[in-house]
Amino acid sequence: MASFFSSAGSFLITVLASVFVFGIVIFIHELGHFLTAKFSGIQVNEFALGMGPTLFSFTRGGTKYGLRLFPIGGFVSMEGEDEESEEAGSFTKAPVGNRILVTVAGAVMNLLLGFVVLVCVVCSQQLISTRTVAEFYEGASTQQSGLQVGDTIVAVNGRRCFIANDIIYEFARTQQGQADLTVLRDGKRVQLDNVVFDTYEENGVNQLVIDFKVLGEKKTVGSVLKEAGNWTLSLGRMVVLSLTDLITGRIAVNNLSGPVGIVSAISEASSLGLSSLLMLLALITINLGIFNLLPIPALDGGRLVFLIIEAIRRKPISQKYEIAINAAGFILLIGLMIFATFNDITKLIV
């Protein structure tokens, strides 16, 4: 009986945490579209959070506000957005600059949310981890290769490190037993090529042993904001690198995760505490912001491409073609989501 209540409690926490994460990420995204549309004089017919049947709704200022049954997704329906309309306040009648702002506002809001959440995460830490080497473990290979106490690591294999975690991430991407480090030593940049690391094998992949510790610094308002900004840049780049690795085949497509995988990750993060859940929230919202700006039909980035073309040629592309291309992109995204969900379920079964 105790086991049953424990499992039920764990399930309830997972559900609440998932609704919280999905809800706030989607709400902020759609709020960006909604506010810029309103400020641009574009008629917003509906602002809905969730998908499926409407649980309740009300209308104010010509806009229907609704909460729907399934807490995944949401939308802002603007007049003339996906169909031809001659009505006043139509999306297609607004200046192209205003439409570009409306289109990118959702992604920008997601990135801002990520920054705000990361400020909270950094504030919860006792110290801010720097990229400066504090000490080495006994017999450290990196010290024998030229790395010194007091060196600040600014790049690994030519890729800049914004935060201490970037160093770990770049080491994880390095499958050889060595890496090229760029450090700041006595105010000067020093290049350390072929720094040797001890290695161990994990899931058939060589991993580097990090044989040194970094300094921690006290928090100030300025250092917290700077660290949160660097975390935002770091997570954003991590998303881009992950997409690149997926496209180039460095990461197997079977590692692609969908909603089920995200819920599983949320469950694990929520069991580790609020800080871990907030970090995952930051990663998801930054991921959504960047992914939405990809030039894929049916995403904000796909619409942005059409608007940029319109701004350059000073003539819109025929809306029937845009609708057809977006419909094809939507089908592609649904197929991708089904594939990712199948992957997630397969991993859970195995």
Query: What would the two tokens of residue 114 be?
Result: 């990520």
Active-site residue among 30, 79, 81, 170? 30
Query: What would the two tokens of residue 342 be?
Result: 């199948």
Active site residue 202: no
- In 186-317, the DSSP E strands lie at 188-196, 199-202, 205-208, 212-217
SS3 of the chain: helix, strand, coil, percent, to 5: 55, 25, 20
Q: Residue 58: how many CA atoms within 13 Å on its side-chain side? A: 2
Cα–Cα distances in Å, from 194 out to 112, 148, 170, 198, 217?
A: 38, 15, 14, 13, 29
Query: What would the two tokens of residue 328 be?
Result: 């094809």
Three-point CA angle 207, 258, 108, nearest 5°: 90
Tell the burial category of 53 from Cβ atoms under 10 Å away from its Cβ (0-12, 13-18, 19+): exposed
13's CB contacts (< 8 A; 6+ apart) are 267, 270, 271
> Is residue 295 within 8 Å of 305, Cβ to Cβ?
yes
Rounded-to-integer distance, Cα 63 and Cα 35, Å: 12
Query: What would the two tokens of residue 85 be?
Result: 């309309």
Residues recognised as catalytic: 30
